[in-house]
Amino acid sequence: MNLTGTLFVAALGLCLAAAPAAVLTPRRARPLLAGAATTAAGLAGAAAGVTALSGQGWSARLDGVLPLAGVRLDLDPLGAMFVAVTGAVAVCAAVYGVAYARHGLDGRVAQATPPLFVASMLLVPAAASVSTLLVAWELMALTSLLLVLAEHRRRAAVGEAALWYAVMTHLGFAAILAGLAGFAALAGGETFEQLRAAGLPPGARDAVFLATLAGFASKAGIVPLHVWLARAHPEAPSQVSALMSAAMVNMGVYGILRVGLDLLHGGPAWWWLLVLGAGALSALFGILQAAVASDLKRLLGHSTTENMGLVLIGVGAAGFLASGGDSMLAALALAAALLHVVNHSAFKTLLFLAAGSVLHATGTRDLDALGGLRARMPCTTALFAVGALAASALPPGNGFVSEWLLLQSLIHALPTSGVAGAVTMPLAVGVIALSAGLAIATFVKAFGVGFLARPRTPGAERASESPPAMIGGMALAAASCVILALAPATVLPGLSRLAASLVPGSGHPPGPVPVSGEVTLRLTGYEGTISPLLIAVALAIAVIGLLGAVRLFASRRARRAARLWDCGAGPMSPRMEYTATSFAEPLQRVFDDVLEPESDLDVTPTKESAYLVESVRFRARIPDRIERRLYDPVLAAAGALGRAATGLANGSVHRYLAYGFYALTAVLVALAVIW
Amino acid sequence: MIGLWRKIRKTGRVAEPAPERADGEVVPRAAELGGSVQIRHVDAGSCNGCEVEIASAFGPVYDAERYGARLVASPRHADALLVTGPVTRNMEVALRRSHEAVPEPRLVVALGDCARDCGAFAGAYGVVGAVKDVVPVDVEVPGCPPPPEAIVEALRGLTGR
Amino acid sequence: MTGLIGAVSQVVLVAVGSPLLAGLMRQVRARLEGRAGAGVAQPWRDLRKLARKEPITPHGTGWVFRLAPLVLAGTVLVVAAVVPLVTTLSPMDGVADLFAVTALLALGSVALALGGLDTGTAFGGMGASREVTVMALVEPTILLSVFALSVRVGSTNLGAIVTSAVHDPLEVISPVSLLAAVALAVVTIAETGRIPVDNPSTHLELTMIHEAMILEYSGPDLALIEWASAMRLSVLLGLLASLFAPWGIATAGAGLAAVVLGMAALVIKVAALGVLLAAGEVFMAKLRLFRIPELLAGSFMLALLAVAASFFLA
Ligand code: SF4
């Protein structure tokens, strides 16, 4: 076994050992033990991923573990990248979780499940056969479902969220199962090698791709299969939210890449236009919902949908360009998408952990009830700011680099990609731009309303900084954000090599990498350079220079503290502050037709006169429109069917006997007629 | 649009030529401002007669802005408070707070007879007193209401132009 | 070397000239209104005075409030150093990308919006909310116009786009260029908070966008903000001029004389655009806040048309 294998097996072993150990140890030692083991496992997993990505692959075959098929593992670069990301996210979440668990999450199940969840997410990208993949996938679904349910005694919403999650994830599983089982049957074998070698008829390829796309896209929270995401991710404990939103959703992207590009070797342009379209829709819809959300964790969940959408725009563009024969540009789009996966994982981990820290300190995640945390939780505030900067894709954040690459690939695609490209690419650029703009609005809201200004409720007033372990977990995530932002060259060479090799038709050995450069990133074959480090340094120099200039030339007068300007009428109460809802109101109004917000106004007049008002009640809600149009009718129909069925079963034994009698008669009559 | 353009052409310049400054003196505390005075207007209880005159002082004919004076929206941006009217009970605290909100160096112009000595409202039950009873006053402009020329003259005393 | 000198001269020119541009625009407006006007140098007098005044930190505000003016001005300075105003040779090629420039300007707005929110006053929040709304809607137009302009050059590098226009002056009057120019002009107006999107000289809080965010700033902080706003305007106008009227810009291989010529050309072009903008504002009223999206959607359509034209006419 080589280094990669040793590390990977160590990671799995640590996870699998941590679960029973967490069950057996007493409550007080449990979080520390489980956390330490998961941290170590995450480190080992990340290291295994990195070594595998840099060329040292590893594969294994364990025939005895699963009946019939056995387990097959293979860490090729594609899988390795996702293993590395999962490992890194697990480290941050586990360190954080040690302290977060004191929050009443130190029960046996709550502590034993996260290591298993991590193990399953390490296994999914390493699986090299259909059965292994499906088992790992289902293990991932079950463990995450258990974790979503961890706080079901505290909030009623948890149960509902878990139900949605359970149903959606299993429908997704069924789609993947159908797709891959059919694929294996047609290919005459279920290992990925056999699948790769199989030549399927075009119709079957389409069917396999569409079925697996539906399943994987639902895991990535892609519209219209996103409804569970913004429910389930926020309801889970925060470090689990981070694991789900930063690592688990990636598995959806992994699946699409694995099946679409690797196993099926790319496909016709319409597959990828479909992926691109779904991505564009998700990006817009996700960020719009996030822009008007006032629940901090829900906002982050919607933003996950947006970012996965951006990734799929890249993946779709890559597949589309490859189908047109432009493998260089396809590799660029794919590298951008992969880099965005990594970036998103880094900043979403950070943001969810910081949101958990806020929840921990204030007991609420409602932005309308927060505020004033800057003074009370300085570390959390600063760390959230780093994440928010990254998520709004502004320099010097890491989100900017990947979005820049993505835009470059789309822009250069225009002249070469025919009419379909000429229609798609500008719209995709428009979508990315609009979602970038809305992301800025979203995160200005999240940070500005949630952390700055004055506390809006006593809960926020009493907040205090989180324990060191939680800050440590966040700081690790923030550090990776900073590294990714200033020196994307630390990960880009590996990712662009992976992208170049993954693009169908790239041949062996694959073509040159699409992006290169240490400090200044350069596109290969196209003009385009960006230097994130230079931007950051120039900005820092300008700001420091200005600070110096102000000190030198400006006022010698001392800075004075004064009351807020309240038009002389003060004092201003925190209720006068802009809330998240009011902050988003103009946007909500602009996108009225898309969001279809609901509001109702109850005015109760006094007894004496209809013109004198006793009380006014205003309620506003922004329902998920897709859910309403697509899911509600189905749910209503299912409900109606259920109610109709209760009419059949009224509890009378006579009736049941009668049903039996009729059924038997019907069968007999049918047999008599047919035979 | 064409109509507006014709109107502009026909009207030409309506600002009166700047009169020679009578004494040419500058309020000493305003010297530091160097030809730029931002003004926050506070109505401490005026009858709005003074406001009408302020509006015309800043209108095209008298064009107080040409001397470097400008009305602003926040006392934080201001160098001077332009207070009109006697200070009423409801406005006493507000005036004090507005004054506090202005960054140093800050000046106060008491505009109109009411602001100087309560004028017609002296002794009224709702009146606390003149502006100088509440905040230190640097410049007083007499008149009920003071004519725009006097207002412009006082402002030029601040800007020194 | 010429590149470095050009970049430095750009920063100096923008830093010194922007308040004068603001003064010129106010003067034009004053003359059209029949006033005498305060003179072109008035904004500099205002800045000098503000710099000497006392800075105030309102209760309850913190580092975000303090840092915002610096970041705002810092982003503009960086942008002024890299965009091709005087010369197309930027010593910081890795920053001179239209996306990077747009994002840097957006970063400045975000800093200011956060500064407004940090005060916790109703007006601060209101201004911030409106600012980011406008920004979110402006972003697609900018990026699409960039897209349209970059297609023929095959790069989003500003220097490359401008150089190609210098070498092929006819490109400037192509439909792509004209459509993109109109779209970019509209978003420039929106980004710099001019009429009809925002009224820079309003006193009525309820109609404010930019002003509402800075109601709490005073002294040197305010001076920085005012200065940065003026620089934003001149950088954006300069960029418009460079993209669509790139005459006189010093290109590769040019000597010092060309840099001086470039500076003169820039001053003339930006002053002309400023006069045009100020004169146009006299004829317009500010739009209602909720009509602004329609204006921006219109410019988005133009940008989309520009991209379509760049493909189908190529
Ligand atoms: S001075 Fe005269 S015009 Fe001015 S407020 Fe007093 S009464 Fe009115």
The pLDDT > 70 percentage for chain A reads: 99
Q: How far is the CA of B107 from the centre of ligand 1 (A)?
A: 21
Size of interface A-C (CB pairs under 8 A): 271
The answer to whether the beta carbons of residues B107 and B27 sit under 8 Å apart is yes
The pLDDT > 90 percentage for chain C reads: 43
Q: Which residues pair with B37 in a beta bridge?
A: B69
Binary contact (A559, C54; C-beta < 8 A): yes
pLDDT of residue A506: 63
In this structure, what is the dihedral angle of CA atoms A302, C117, C137, C276, given to the nearest 10 degrees? -170
Domain count, chain B: 1
A344-363: average pLDDT = 94
pLDDT of residue B24: 63
Query: Per residue in B76-133, pLDDT tens?
Result: 999 999 999 999 999 999 999 999 999 988 999 999 999 999 988 988 999 999 999 9
Name the residue ranges covered by the structural domains of chain A: 1-201+217-246, 266-349+365-541+578-595, 625-674
Query: Per residue in C226-253, pLDDT tens?
Result: 999 999 999 999 999 998 888 888 887 7
The answer to whether the beta carbons of residues A214 and A175 sit under 8 Å apart is yes
Query: Per residue in A14-35, pLDDT tens?
Result: 999 988 888 888 888 888 888 9
Ligand 1 pocket, B47 CB below 6 A? yes
Q: Regarding predicted confidence, which is higher, A649 or A193?
A: A193
Q: What is the CATH number of the domain that holds B123?
A: 3.40.50.12280
Q: In what order do the strands lie in the sheet with A515-516?
A: A515-516, A521-523, A529-530
Provide the residue range defining the domain that includes C301: 2-312
CA-wise closest residue to A79 among A137, A125, A124, A135:
A125
Question: Which residues neighbour A628 within 8 Å (Cβ) at sequence distance 6 or greater?
Answer: none
Residues in B closer than 8 angstroms to C219, CB to CB, are 103
Binary contact (B105, C42; C-beta < 8 A): no
The answer to whether the beta carbons of residues A238 and A100 sit under 8 Å apart is yes
In this structure, what is the dihedral angle of CA atoms C36, C38, C39, C41, given to the nearest 10 degrees? -170
| Element housing B39 (H / E) | strand B37-43
The answer to whether the beta carbons of residues C313 and C174 sit under 8 Å apart is yes
3 state DSSP class of A342: helix
Query: Per residue in B30-79, pLDDT tens?
Result: 888 888 999 999 999 999 999 999 999 999 999 999 999 999 988 999 99
pLDDT reading at C313 higher than 80: no
pLDDT of residue A6: 92
Measured CA to CA, the distance from residue C161 to residue C146 in angstroms comes to 10
The answer to whether the beta carbons of residues C202 and B73 sit under 8 Å apart is yes
pLDDT band at A404 (very low <50, low <70, confident <90, very high): very high
pLDDT of residue B134: 94
- Give me A614's structure tokens: 């006793």
Q: Which residues pair with B43 in a beta bridge?
A: B84
Query: Per residue in A464-483, pLDDT tens?
Result: 899 999 999 999 999 999 99
- Give me A53's structure tokens: 């990505």
The answer to whether the beta carbons of residues A361 and A377 sit under 8 Å apart is yes
Query: Per residue in C121-147, pLDDT tens?
Result: 888 999 999 999 999 999 889 888 888
Binary contact (B103, C219; C-beta < 8 A): yes
Q: Regarding predicted confidence, which is higher, A599 or C110?
A: C110
What average pLDDT is seen over chain A?
A: 90
Closest residue CA from atom 6 of ligand 1: B114
Measured CA to CA, the distance from residue C240 to residue C232 in angstroms comes to 12
The tally of CA atoms less than 13 A away on the side-chain side of residue C191 is: 33
Contact residues of B toward C, CB < 8 A: 1, 4-5, 8, 11-15, 18, 32-36, 38, 60, 63, 65-68, 70-74, 76-77, 79, 101, 103-105
pLDDT reading at A508 higher than 70: no
pLDDT reading at A392 higher than 80: yes
3 state DSSP class of A481: helix
> What is the nearest CA distance from C36 to chain A, expressed in angstroms?
31
Query: Per residue in C103-122, pLDDT tens?
Result: 999 999 999 999 999 998 88
Query: Per residue in C181-227, pLDDT tens?
Result: 999 999 899 888 888 888 888 777 778 888 889 999 998 999 999 99
User: Count of CB atoms within 10 A of residue C149's CB?
Assistant: 29
User: Count of CB atoms within 10 A of residue C289's CB?
Assistant: 18
Query: Per residue in C59-83, pLDDT tens?
Result: 888 899 999 999 999 999 999 998 8
Atom of ligand 1 minimally distant from the CA of B112: 1
Binary contact (A444, C113; C-beta < 8 A): yes
Phi, psi of B104 (to 5 degrees): -65, 150
pLDDT of residue C314: 65
| Element housing A616 (H / E) | strand A613-621
Kindly provide the ipTM of the predicted complex, given to two decimals. 0.95
Measured CA to CA, the distance from residue B102 to residue C56 in angstroms comes to 9
pLDDT band at B23 (very low <50, low <70, confident <90, very high): low
Residues of A330-355 as b/e, b for ≥16 C-beta within 10 angstroms? bbbbbbbbbbbbbbbbbbbbbbbbbb
pLDDT reading at C161 higher than 90: no
CA-wise closest residue to A208 among A152, A259, A276:
A259
pLDDT reading at A452 higher than 70: yes
Strand A598-605 to strand A613-621: parallel, antiparallel, or no bridges (unpaired)? Answer: antiparallel
Is A567 near chain B, with CB under 8 Å?
A: yes
3-state DSSP helix/strand/coil % of chain A, to nearest 5: 70, 5, 20
Measured CA to CA, the distance from residue B149 to residue B159 in angstroms comes to 15
A191-204: average pLDDT = 89
pLDDT of residue C43: 94
The answer to whether the beta carbons of residues B112 and B46 sit under 8 Å apart is yes
pLDDT band at A510 (very low <50, low <70, confident <90, very high): low
The answer to whether the beta carbons of residues A604 and A613 sit under 8 Å apart is yes
pLDDT of residue A170: 93
pLDDT of residue C86: 87
| Helical ranges in A257-326 per DSSP H | 269-292, 296-323
Strands (E), A338-465: none
Q: How far is the CA of B48 from the centre of ligand 1 (A)?
A: 7
Phi, psi of A621 (to 5 degrees): -145, 140
Ligand 1 pocket, B46 CB below 6 A? yes
CA-wise closest residue to C212 among C299, C132, C288:
C132
Measured CA to CA, the distance from residue A282 to residue A626 in angstroms comes to 11
Provide the residue range defining the domain that includes B139: 2-159
pLDDT of residue A570: 73
Domain count, chain C: 1
Ligand 1 pocket, B88 CB below 6 A? no
pLDDT band at A507 (very low <50, low <70, confident <90, very high): low
pLDDT of residue A645: 85
pLDDT of residue B67: 92
Measured CA to CA, the distance from residue A623 to residue A618 in angstroms comes to 16
Give the DSSP letter string of A432-472: HHHHHHHHHHHHHHHHHHHHSS--SSHHHHT--PPPHHHHH
